[in-house]
Amino acid sequence: MVSVPVVHHPACRLHDPGQGHPERPERVATVIAALQEPGPGVTVQWSEASLATREQVERVHPAGYLDTLERLVGAGGGALDADTVMSRDSWVAALAAAGVAIAAVERGIERGSAFGATRPPGHHALAARAMGFCLLNNVVVAARHAQRLGRPRVLIVDWDVHHGNGTQALVERDPSIRYVSMHQYPWYPGTGAAEERGVGNVFNVPRPPGLTRETYVRDLLAAVDAALAGWRPDLLLVSAGFDSLAGDPLGGFTLEPGDMAYWTTALRERVAPAPVVGMLEGGYRLDLLAAGARAHVRALAS
């Protein structure tokens, strides 16, 4: 029997963007329910995170931006853009998601792998701007925490169907972090062209919808291999967006849950002995989200 740490926080369910919004509380509840029974031969070691501190979040986001989010919640919530809304409990949910990301890194370093059930998602969040359902950039908060724990070189692989523009913007001038993203293009948010290279640490794989599964699987791993050429990470963080699965209402990729499992195994082999930590990003059809998360976590445990 093999096991994998999974980190959660109940406050991640409290963020409520409103009726009909695709980034609904049921998403994280579905993931947690799916991981209660990850499958034969695999057990989950559950742990509850603490809320991220202001100090931890301010490694990525300026204090003034965080103050703005707190004030909006104090006024009862409101819209930050056409897609991104804060409700009364969204600030505590955002700190919970960032705390889950931090704790997942700690557990991953201890055990070799881990998964964080982070919600709201984070990879569109810029330093001082919320967008694309995202308030705080969980994966970059996690990367900065890992560097303080003695893991200076961090590779982030993002397979969400949307480009992680926030993640790229936050790391593209920092050679200690490399970022690989495969995403539907052109598509929201309109960034992520192949020629966007940062300081040579950004590896974008823009692809149209409707290609074969094999094409997407191959092209992401080719970009990872390019990122790893002559460079070994001390930690791999996966922005695990399950909206790249075939049938998701917000994307047009053709991937299946088994492809996420294959990627996870292939990534672990490529970066070994570095730990691998997955974090939830997108995924908006609940049955697909459950299947994708289960496949990813099973591969983290194997």
- Contact predicate 297/115, CB 8 Å: yes
- Contact predicate 11/93, CB 8 Å: yes
126-150 pLDDT, tens digit each: 999 999 999 999 999 999 999 999 9
- For position 38, what pLDDT does the model report? 87
158-187 pLDDT, tens digit each: 999 999 999 999 999 999 999 999 999 999
Helix, strand, coil in percent for the chain, rounding step 5: 40, 20, 40
Residue-range domain boundaries for the chain: 2-301
- For position 40, what pLDDT does the model report? 86
222 burial type by CB count under 10 A (0-12 exposed, 13-18 middle, 19+ buried): middle
Cα–Cα distance measured from residue 103 to residue 238, given in angstroms and rounded to the nearest whole number: 15
- For position 235, what pLDDT does the model report? 98
pLDDT digit of tens for each residue in the chain (302 aa)? Answer: 899 999 999 999 999 999 999 999 999 999 999 999 888 889 999 999 999 999 999 999 999 999 999 999 999 999 999 999 999 999 999 999 999 999 999 999 999 999 999 999 999 999 999 999 999 999 999 999 999 999 999 999 999 999 999 999 999 999 999 999 999 999 999 999 999 999 999 999 999 999 999 999 999 999 999 999 999 999 999 999 999 999 999 999 999 999 999 999 999 999 999 999 999 999 999 999 999 999 999 999 97
* Strand 78-79 versus strand 85-86 pairing type: antiparallel
9 is annotated as an active-site residue: no
Cα–Cα distance measured from residue 271 to residue 248, given in angstroms and rounded to the nearest whole number: 29
Catalytically annotated residue among 15, 61, 124, 163: 124
Residues with Cβ within 8 Å of residue 133, at least 6 apart in sequence: 17, 22, 23, 83, 84, 120, 121, 124, 282
- For position 268, what pLDDT does the model report? 98
Rg, C-alpha atoms of the chain: 17
- For position 213, what pLDDT does the model report? 98
* Cα 220–Cα 224–Cα 227 angle in degrees, nearest 5: 140
pTM over 0.95? The answer is yes
3-state SS assignment for residue 89 = coil
Residues with Cβ within 8 Å of residue 279, at least 6 apart in sequence: 100, 101, 104, 115, 116, 118, 122, 138, 139, 142, 237, 238, 239, 240
- For position 222, what pLDDT does the model report? 98
CATH for the 2-301 domain, from 3.40.50.720, 1.20.1250.20, 3.40.800.20, 3.40.50.10420 = 3.40.800.20
- Contact predicate 87/17, CB 8 Å: yes
Q: What's the full length of the chain, in residues?
A: 302
- For position 20, what pLDDT does the model report? 96
| Backbone phi, psi, residue 235, to 5° | -160, 140
